[in-house]
A and B are shown apart, each in its own frame.
Chain A
Amino acid sequence: MIIISRRRFLALSGGLLATGCTASRSADSTIPSPSATSTTSAPTTAAPTITPGVVTTVSTPPELVSAALVDQPVLVLVELRGGNDAVNTLPPLTGAYRDLRPTLSLAESDIVMSPALPDHGLHPSLSPLLPFAESGRMATLAGIGFDDPNRSHFVSMDRWARADRLDDSLGWLGRWLDTLPDELTSLGATSLGAVGDVAIGASQSATVIDDVAAFTFPSTLSNATIRALGEQPSNDPIVAAAQRAFVDSVGAIEEFDEIADAVRARTPIRDVDALGVQSGAYTTGLAVAAEMILGGVGTRVVTISVNGFDTHSKQLETHAALLADLANGLSQFWTTLDAAGASNRVLLATTSEFGRRVAQNASEGCDHGAAGVSFVMGNSVNGALSGALNTSDLLNGDIRPQLDPRVMFTACLDWLGADVEQILGKRYDEFALLR
């Protein structure tokens, strides 16, 4: 069930979409009629409802709730940027793991074991994810990666973002966004933290929000002033892109204002003097994502990217902290959605451009590798372990790819109701990731 305030909803339907401020979201774009089919079947509620953990009342006009914007399926992509070390994430219990990592393997007593993950364990930092694996809400894809792996960060990131179509600069989610010219709000696709390359389309790309506390224009300028910058687009494509970006930013802020209080209440204020990478980025980002999903701003896609997984040296401590942040963030994310009764609408998948070399180097770290591990979470996933991290049959020292990432992308696109063949060229459904 979707909890949404009438004020939010009316602002969405009347105030924002109708402003039609961008080239891609024209003024004619209207809320789909009540008869429009909705791909999920969240029930309509007109009575005040109290849900644990969420304090809000529902007084939504029935004709608006069925509008396709609010209760549609949502995809969250969580990127572990830098190349996550799969074999310490999901340590294989047999094979050459310990021999190749004399000081970098996890102690047997620290590894989290479960019948849900045969022949593998979980990094101790990931223990908050164990209930998800055991209740079947999390699929584990071991050995995921493209054939003929490339060990460059940037080539591999492009292959993941573009579903291995390197001739095409668009992300596979961006290609899907391009098919929805009139159906997305400004926050319909949002990247938290950094640009999500996967959500770059030709006509629509994700709105990037870094620090939610700072996501507001100075009070000295009106939105109309900012919007005026976009009038009469220049013939110079770069100037026109900058003009459009300002207009899109105003639209995003107007929508974000609807949920800003709720979001800011749940995210820490950044340290004024802090430089560089902020700790807790996953926990913060996933909290924002949950508020967006619950806030009724039409969010369909959220990407969250966090740097730091390029652990060439002194890996153990860094990796443990990153995974702990990830697992805590994921656990809280689902707790929030569960409490609001919204978890049926959400599918979440993790990505990383490659796994790391199985053998450690002399810097207490490991170099770029090949296949890795992904987790897919949601109430509709086939929550099992697929594939394996096989350290007995390595490819130049790396885990050999055995699961095509496009199987995961196919499931994600199915979840969104996309035309998979149009976007990926064909379906990759060697196994069914969704029930």
Chain B
Amino acid sequence: MAPMDKQQAVCWLHRRAGLGLHPNDFAAEAERDPGDALNALLASPVTPRDIWADVDLDGRDTGRANAVRAWLGALVASDRPFHDRRTWMLHGWLVCSMDKVPDPTAMVEQIQLFERSGNVDFADFLGDLTVDRAMLIYLDGLTSTAQAPNENYGRELLELFGLGEGNYTEADVQAAAAALTGWTIDRRNLSAKFVARQHDDTHQTLLGVTGVNDVGSVVDAVVNDPAHPGFVADRIISEYLGDLTGDAREDVRNDLIGTYAASDRRLDAVIERALRLGLDGASTTVVLDPIRWLVICARATGVNLSRLRRSATQSFREMGQIPLFPPNVNGWPRGTEWLTASSLIARTNVAAALAAATEPAEPLRIAADDNDVDQLAEHLGLLEPFGPGTRRAIGSATDPVGRLTVALVCPESLLA
């Protein structure tokens, strides 16, 4: 990527590693040194926050809908965008879905686990996740016994959570599954419970490590496998830096592998390092997933999503992404896979609803009223002015709402 000036660097940080900003905040941030802006983003939130405190999670259907709304609302209102964006990434990586986890509180507890996970040893986090209630349900650890182990979690732990395909054998899958048998959920207090008589205590050989027979030893075998740090680095690169290739990628990858080890496997340290390398140019354009795009647009326009008409919220689903409902264990599509007709049309409808709901005093609406194309791009925190196609499209719109709709959904706005 071409070198960024200071203002571009700040915009890049907030759109890539945060959740965007309101135009007034972008204006203030633009004065800052990018390093300071990054440090401010990374700073641990000081005010405690419980986004689920007043949310009614009872009832399978209303509870699930309330959970989705509450999380989306919290992302829009976020005062800790770096951390919330990292939590969002983890939800799309270490997947559970309410399609299979009927109790909304189990999913909420998992999201809370993700919120706590940035500054702990990834091995501890993975151990907690292995016996997390939603995960025990979603990947069937709950019913996996010594007599008939269920391979679902063991396989995805190796393939999708820890190592990547090609770095383990079928025997490893079976060994991990056997060593993780015996975990269930205590119906009284809804916590994970170990039932020794359903556990296969045989010492397994997992990834060449002998004597593996419990959660701790399974997780240790995974995180100590030579393929693991590179797997984590690849994930962070694709999430935060885009599609790096060749030597540039190798250099960044090795750097992040080193950071991972040096930081005692703390994800936030790896992400921070990735962002510093990104500020130095190790970055390619990425496609924002629908929810991040929606959140960035809502924050930019000041629109309260809960005030939108029902038809608009239905369009959220048509974009192809409902928080807490990933379609399968590999999460949502990624990158240019989002550029389908179906998803783009839905995003355009959502943009129209947001534009119509933007208050007259909002900076973006004023820029649309004034037909000020450059101001629209600047208010959205874009790194560059709109390209000629988008300028033409905005110019052809017949009213301010149409101009703002185009500005929100144009290619430049879908990307970061």
Contact = CB atoms under 8 A, between A and B. Distances in A.
B165 A155 contact: yes
Interface residues on B, range: 35 or more
5 contacts: A214-B315, A220-B398, A242-B339, A275-B68, A362-B150
Contacts of A232: 387-389
A194 interface: yes
B227 interface: no
Contact of B390 (A229, A238, A360): A229
Contact of A365 (B140, B322, B342, B411): B140
B388 A252 contact: no
A208 B61 contact: no
B361 interface: no
A354 B21 CA distance: 45
A367 B139 CA distance: 11
A108 to B, nearest CB: 23
- Most A CB within 10 A of own CB, among B144, B387, B406: B387
Contacts of A79: none
Interface in B53-91: 61, 64-65, 68
Interface stretch (A30-38, A114-122, A307-315): A307-315
B345 interface: yes
B5 interface: no
Interface stretch (B38-46, B250-258, B298-306, B346-354): B346-354
Interface string B377-409: 000000000011110110011110110011000
Nearest to B177: A367
Given A225-B397, A242-B414, A275-B65, A81 B340 contact: no
B99 interface: yes
Interface string A215-241: 111101110111011111110101101
Contact of A151 (B155, B313, B325, B415): B155
A383 to B, nearest CB: 33
Interface in A329-367: 359-365, 367
Contacts of A217: 345, 348-349
B127 interface: no
Contact of B352 (A221, A313, A362): A221
A194 B142 CA distance: 30
Given A153-B328, A229-B390, 15 more contacts: A154-B159, A194-B327, A211-B317, A214-B342, A216-B345, A225-B396, A243-B389, A245-B341, A253-B341, A272-B310, A276-B99, A310-B328, A361-B143, A361-B148, A363-B150
A359 B98 CA distance: 27
User: Across chains A and B, which 10 residue pairs bring their CB atoms closest together, nearest first?
Assistant: A363-B143, A242-B411, A208-B340, A362-B148, A218-B352, A228-B393, A231-B389, A245-B339, A238-B285, A210-B342
Interface stretch (B187-195, B208-216, B329-337): B329-337
Contact of A154 (B149, B165, B390): B165
B349 A228 contact: no
B342 A209 contact: yes
Contacts of A185: none
A218 B344 contact: no
B371 to A, nearest CB: 14
A267 to B, nearest CB: 14
Nearest to A367: B151
Given A228-B396, A248-B341, A272 B314 contact: yes
Nearest to A216: B345
A239 B388 contact: no
Contacts of B414: 242
A155 B311 CA distance: 38
B349 A239 contact: no
A249 B150 contact: no
Contacts of A246: 344, 411
B415 A239 contact: yes
A277 interface: yes
B348 A228 contact: no
Contact of A362 (B147, B242, B341): B147
B349 A242 contact: no
A70 B405 CA distance: 36
> Which residue, of B148, B287, B339, B343, has the highest number of chain A Cβ atoms within 10 A?
B339
B402 A249 contact: no
A233 B388 CA distance: 9
A300 B102 CA distance: 40
A94 interface: no
B65 A224 contact: no
Nearest to A193: B342
B155 A239 contact: no
Given A241-B339, A276-B98, A368 B411 contact: no
A273 B155 contact: no
A138 B415 CA distance: 46
A226 B341 contact: no
A103 to B, nearest CB: 11
Contact of A229 (B139, B145, B320, B389): B389
A363 B152 CA distance: 11
A209 B411 CA distance: 20
Nearest to B328: A307
Given A211-B318, A238-B415, A275-B98, A312 B150 contact: yes
Given A82-B328, A362-B150, A363-B150, A239 B285 contact: yes
